């Protein structure tokens, strides 16, 4: 399980087109679990064979207090900058967004891109992409600037890129 402190991080919610919602985090947490199912076969009590089992999607939970949102404000028919809830649910100002999942038969999904500086880092930043995220639970308080969500990604591995800060 990866647990990341999102203090002063940036989370970007992207759809399958050009729409993005950038969220500057004051403080918060991100947890995701990559699971690799293995199938073990025993022969007379001894390990005889190990095979990879079915792939399992990434479990994701996050909660944070956000400082500001920046998103598309002039998208035709969008009704202004979407809220985090709009972007995750494809409603309101994000109703015209398209799914980031390439399979049109699957429910709406977004990509979560997290840019943060790890603790004890020399200034290098890390970018984590959690593709095709679908929320299963969502708690959002606009007046307090808080959001908490859990769900799954239609992927088995997060994409992690480490880059030196310019």
What does residue 69 show for φ and ψ, rounded to 5 degrees?
Answer: -120, 145
* pLDDT the model gives residue 164: 59
Query: For residues 72, 126, 107 and 17, what is the CA-based torsion angle, rounded to 10 degrees?
Result: 40
pLDDT per residue, tens digit, the chain (166 aa), is 788 889 889 999 999 988 999 999 999 999 999 888 777 888 888 877 777 777 789 999 999 999 988 887 544 444 678 999 999 999 999 999 999 998 889 999 999 999 998 876 667 889 999 999 999 999 989 889 999 999 999 888 888 887 655 5
What was the pLDDT predicted at 75? 47
Residue from 116, 165, 160, 113 nearest 8 by CA: 116
Question: Do residues 116 and 126 lie in contact, with contact meaning Cβ atoms separated by under 8 Å?
Answer: yes
Dihedral over alpha carbons 117, 121, 123, 126 (to 10 degrees): -40
- The Cα 67–Cα 106 span in angstroms is 32
CA gyration radius, the chain: 18
Contact 59, 154 (CB under 8 A): no
- pLDDT value for 12: 95
Burial class for 102, CB neighbours closer than 10 Å (0-12, 13-18, 19+): exposed
Would you state the pLDDT for residue 122? 66
What are the tokens at 30?
């991100």
């Amino acid at each position: 399980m990866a647990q990341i402190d999102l203090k002063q991080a940036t989370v970007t919610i992207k759809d399958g087109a050009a729409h993005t919602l950038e969220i500057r985090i004051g403080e918060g947490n991100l947890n995701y679990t990559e699971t690799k199912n293995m199938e073990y076969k025993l022969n007379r009590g001894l390990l005889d064979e190990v095979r990879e089992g079915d792939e399992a999607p990434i479990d994701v939970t996050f909660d944070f207090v956000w400082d500001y949102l920046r998103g598309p404000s002039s998208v035709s028919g969008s009704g202004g900058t979407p809220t985090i809830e709009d972007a995750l649910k494809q409603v309101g100002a994000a109703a015209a967004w398209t799914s980031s999942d390439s399979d049109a038969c699957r429910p709406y999904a977004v990509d979560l891109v997290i840019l943060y500086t790890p603790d004890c880092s020399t200034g290098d930043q890390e970018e984590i992409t959690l593709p095709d995220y679908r929320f299963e639970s969502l708690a959002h308080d606009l007046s307090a600037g808080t959001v908490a969500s859990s769900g799954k990604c239609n992927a088995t591995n997060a994409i992690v890129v480490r880059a030196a800060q310019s």
